[in-house]
Amino acid sequence: MEVNPMEIQPLPPLPEPSAKTVTQLRRYASLLAVANERVRLTGPYDEETLWTDHIEDCLHVLPLLPPSGTVVDVGTGGGLPGAVLAVCRPDLKFTLLDSLSRKTKVLAEIIAALKLPNAEVICMRSEDFAAARRERYDAAVVRAVSEAGVIAEYLAPLVREGGALIAMKGSSVGEELAPLEGLWHTLGLAEPNLYEYDLKDHKSYMLLWKKSAPCPAVYPRKPGRAEKKLWWR
């Protein structure tokens, strides 16, 4: 299904990074490339591809972040986008969350090497983590985790009322959104805004939901249920 062009907004301009920020991001790319030789944290291993395909992509989240507060990156893997955002926004506090200990152990080493005091790495399933820190975050972000409806169930319980859920998406976003129109209130969410941006030779998309009401206590469900039994069906 094609995305309706009338529903798409241009992504706000990216802030210009300082020379210090670029240097630190390059350092992150180098550390991630080396770490990928030990544990597969992301796709291609070479440093330049990590920069052009992953780090530059993650920078597009920056215009949608809150002016202050806390952000959780769910399914962070090698720190994409959470580590990138933590480098660029030292004024925000970031939680980098992943359920695989082999990934979080290596990511914690990368964060320590970068000396990022505004980032913590936690190994836990998002469903369990939501019980521990329910609706405490000002924003939640996700990249390459699942389809839009499943993502929303993972993120909504983590974000306070008035906060934002941000999902980086590809060309299938129209198909994912179509059956959910008018149903987002089930999770305490307003209808999402859809933003478009150029990445190399193709279009990419950013979904942003505002948390308009508390998330019902039944969410999140037990680990694994979000993808096995879709909440909107």
Q: Across-strand partners of 164? A: 139, 210
pLDDT on residue 37: 86
pLDDT in tens, 39-86: 888 876 788 889 999 999 999 999 999 999 999 999 999 999 999 999
Sequence-ordered alpha helix ranges (H) in the chain: 19-35, 47-49, 56-58, 82-88, 101-114, 126-132, 148-155, 173-177, 225-228
Q: What is the 3-state secondary structure (H, E, C) of 98-128?
A: ECCHHHHHHHHHHHHHHCCCCEEEEECCHHH
Residues 11-28 have a mean pLDDT of: 96
Residues 83-112 have a mean pLDDT of: 97
Instruction: Using pLDDT thresholds of 50, 70 and 90, give the confidence band for residue 5.
Output: very low
Assigned domain for 3 exists:
no
Assigned domain for 9 exists:
no
pLDDT on residue 140: 98
- How many independent structural domains does the chain possess? 1
- Cα angle: 86, vertex 90, 111; to 5 degrees: 45
Assigned domain for 205 exists:
yes
Range of the domain at 125: 17-228
Residues 35-39 have a mean pLDDT of: 88
Q: How far apart are the first and last CA of the chain?
A: 19
Whichever domain contains 186, its CATH number is 3.40.50.150
Assigned domain for 21 exists:
yes
pLDDT in tens, 175-233: 999 999 999 999 999 999 999 999 888 899 999 999 999 999 999 999 989 999 999 99
Assigned domain for 56 exists:
yes
pLDDT in tens, 132-163: 999 999 999 999 778 999 999 999 999 999 99
Instruction: Using pLDDT thresholds of 50, 70 and 90, give the confidence band for residue 6.
Output: very low
pLDDT on residue 3: 56
Instruction: Using pLDDT thresholds of 50, 70 and 90, give the confidence band for residue 168.
Output: very high
Assigned domain for 68 exists:
yes
Check pLDDT > 60 for residue 4.
Answer: no
Query: What whole-number distance in Å separates Cα of residue 210 and Cα of residue 164?
Result: 5
**Gyration radius from the chain CA atoms:** 17
pLDDT on residue 1: 42
Assigned domain for 11 exists:
no
Query: What whole-number distance in Å separates Cα of residue 124 and Cα of residue 207?
Result: 24
Assigned domain for 10 exists:
no
Burial call 5-30: b when 16+ CB within 10 Å, e when fewer: eeebeebeeeeeeeeebeebbeebbe
Tell me which DSSP letter residue 156 carries.
G
